[in-house]
Chain A
Amino acid sequence: MNSKNALLIAAATVLLQCEQSDELTIPQFPDGGLLRSGQLLSRDQLLMFEGMYTVPQGVPLFGEQVAVRTSPGTVSVLSEKNAGFSVLGAACMPDRRVVVEGYWQYPMLLDAGLVRLFVGPSEFSDALCDGETPDPDTSFELDGHFGSDSEFPRQPLTLRWSRQLKPWRDRFFTVAHHGACENTDHCGAAPNSLESIRLAERVGSNAAELDVRITRDGIPILFHDPGLSRTLVRGTFCNGQVADLSLAELMGSCELRYGELIPTVEQTLDMMVNETEMEGVYLDMKVPGAVLPTSRLVVKLMAELEARNTNSDPSDDRKFGALVAITTDEVLAAWHETKAQLTKEGLPIPPCLAEKDAETVIAEGCVAWGPTWTKGPQADKVQLARAAGAGTIFWTINQSEFINEFLTVAQPDGIISARAALLFYRYQTIGTPPPIRPMP
């Protein structure tokens, strides 16, 4: 073989090294599992599962301690180990056992499996099956098995309730970084999709940071990159720049990584308020042109929420904060124009978050500061913002050691993270609940 042939083969071999990573299928019990034959527990009953649990059996899965929180229809087990979580449903079976089953996952890895647990001792399951909501104590436990992939769960797992959770609703924001997981994770939902926001709540978030861009016809949508990058979208005719395409062109030609449609901001706000218990959204303005139309949607939402919260039906009340995030000097200039325009129209100014510094937050009258974690905890600035009535939400911290440092040194009002399970768990173990502040 002469040198030119060797070179050609070498070049072809190098190009063959490019491979796409494998994808994970979230495991499910066949035929819907035991939940299908049971009576699902009510939202109020699920709340009794919340707490910190020790792990007498099954330490290799989630470690020696886990946090459990709930959302509509879901019991979530949140852990530090590999930022692992378990998303479970709960139902009373015909034999009066209460089953809690679903799947577990390490989002950064290709590891997942099934989980099937039963409530014990029997007085708790009897009470739940009678429609009561008993208070948990240290005898309350979830006992059963977990497995790998779609194999039937056979490895023992026991979670024993040890204490109540530290206050987190209305207090500490575990903010999902554009949804439940990073783009490189394997959660089965694409970043900035409605599905990923729903999943974010189930894996430990109570707010979401979402990226806002604008279509050619002026409609704010959720999308991170300026271009229709193949890491985010698919479709033969899905090419070019987001700002060059109308919403109809995007909808007719593009889908997100797992087949989801690109959502508009209006659809997103509606879904978050009406289908989740999330408490807020951090709307990251990626382009100045998105500020005015997004602000109009937030103003409209504020009016709707005010109407709900002041009517005679308390069951209709809903606390939810939407923040317009000022991310750059260009966006700040657009924010000034937006404020002038809304004032001219007699509309209120929506709540804002400034990322630049605490002084800008105070000068602009924003309700929150969104500093990058790379500048350190800046505890003095966090206190400065807090004294001015503004909260602080750091972005974006995924590593355990940095989460620990920021929780203990800065004691912020929230952290943006793609590892919600880890962040929620660490807040519950070492965090200090921030002072109560009224939602914007």
Chain B
Amino acid sequence: MRFVRSFQALVVAAVCAATGVAGAVSVDQPESQKKELSEAPDRSSLEVFGSFGPTILFGEPANPEYQTSFGRVGMIGELGFAYRSWYFIDPFISVSYSGLARGQAVLPAGVWGAGGTLEQKLRAWIISPGITSDIWRFRPRLALGVAILVQSFEFNGVESSSTQTPLVTQFGLGFNVFDEGRTRLDLEGRGVLISGADVNFVTLDVILRGDLFYIGD
């Protein structure tokens, strides 16, 4: 939880920093430059975006006396659509899939029966509407959605899985490194808090964005 609070504070600091930069730009820069840096597009568009990157999961497995291995580094992929508005903020919706963690626990014989090695895998689907905005070259985003956590096991040759659907909060801060016409490329740091399940992770994504079509004049 301490990490979560620190992370939230970091995100707010980053948002404030970005805001400060944008504010400074709006005060000090001439009108033509302001338009270039504070990247509100001339017209609205439907944007498709996809991201991919590694994840680092926080938290620890239970019962360390049984746990023999634990891998907290995984991968996440995301596909989404955003309404890239010429005005104010951009709503978006995205679906992502991630393999978050894997582990092994060696159980002795006990009240559960014969001992053996328990293979554990944690994956998550995340369906998440949210809002984002271009502020100079930064692109913060905030999303609230639902996760489908998939917990899988294999023990003594028997495979099983179970799902859970907690709520998700995502905070991200992207930085635009390439912008050419209809196509953009961002690097983004993102925190994903699946608080109902206490599954929290950070990602470092590469995001490719492109305008599918323009709306209005």
Q: A-side interface residues toward B, CB under 8 Å?
A: 1-5, 7-9, 11-13, 15-16, 18-20, 216-217, 219, 227-230, 233-241, 244-249, 251-255, 261, 264, 266-267
Q: Which residues of B contact A12 (CB under 8 A)?
A: 8, 11-12, 15, 142, 171
- 30 A-B pairs, CB-CB below 8 angstroms? A7-B89, A8-B15, A11-B142, A12-B11, A12-B12, A12-B171, A15-B8, A15-B169, A15-B171, A16-B12, A217-B112, A217-B113, A229-B196, A235-B60, A235-B63, A236-B61, A236-B62, A236-B199, A240-B161, A240-B164, A245-B160, A245-B162, A246-B153, A246-B160, A248-B113, A249-B160, A251-B112, A252-B105, A253-B62, A255-B63
Q: Find the B residue at minimum CB distance from A243.
A: B162
Number of A-B pairs whose CB atoms are under 8 Å? Answer: 159
> Distance in Å from the Cβ of A223 to the closest Cβ of chain B?
14
- A237→B107 CA distance, assembly (Å): 15
Q: Which residues of A contact B11 (CB under 8 A)?
A: 12
A253 touches B61 (CB 8 A): yes
- Residue of A2, A7, A12, A227 with most chain B CB atoms under a 10 A cut-off: A12
What 14 additional pairs, Cβ within 8 angstroms, besides A8-B133, A229-B196, A240-B163? A5-B135, A8-B19, A12-B12, A219-B112, A236-B70, A237-B61, A239-B122, A239-B199, A247-B111, A247-B112, A249-B118, A249-B160, A252-B105, A254-B63
A-B pairs, 8 with minimum CB distance: A240-B162, A235-B62, A244-B162, A248-B112, A252-B105, A255-B62, A247-B112, A237-B120
- A254→B112 CA distance, assembly (Å): 14
B52 on interface, CB distance cutoff 8 Å = no
- A320→B62 CA distance, assembly (Å): 34
> A9-B15, A15-B169, A246-B112 given as contacts; is B142 within 8 A of A239 (CB)?
no
B41 on interface, CB distance cutoff 8 Å = no
- Residue of B101, B111, B158, B171 with most chain A CB atoms under a 10 A cut-off: B111
- A15→B155 CA distance, assembly (Å): 39
Q: Beta-carbon contacts of B135-176 to A below 8 Å, as 1s and 0s? A: 100001010000001010101101011111000010100000
Q: Beta-carbon contacts of B93-106 to A below 8 Å, as 1s and 0s? A: 00000000101010
- A249→B59 CA distance, assembly (Å): 18
B19 touches A246 (CB 8 A): no
> Distance in Å from the Cβ of A6 to the closest Cβ of chain B?
8
B164 touches A253 (CB 8 A): no
B111 touches A267 (CB 8 A): yes
A236 touches B142 (CB 8 A): no
Q: Find the A residue at minimum CB distance from B19.
A: A5
Q: Which residues of A contact B57 (CB under 8 A)?
A: 236
- A14→B164 CA distance, assembly (Å): 25
> Distance in Å from the Cβ of B7 to the closest Cβ of chain A?
11
B111 contact from A1, A238, A240, A266, Cβ within 8 A: A266
Q: Find the B residue at minimum CB distance from A215.
A: B112
B9 on interface, CB distance cutoff 8 Å = yes
Q: Find the A residue at minimum CB distance from B8.
A: A16
A240 touches B151 (CB 8 A): yes
> A228-B164, A230-B197, A252-B66 given as contacts; is B111 within 8 A of A9 (CB)?
no
A216 touches B160 (CB 8 A): yes
- A244→B101 CA distance, assembly (Å): 20
> A244-B161, A245-B160, A251-B112 given as contacts; is B19 within 8 A of A1 (CB)?
yes
Q: Find the B residue at minimum CB distance from A251.
A: B112
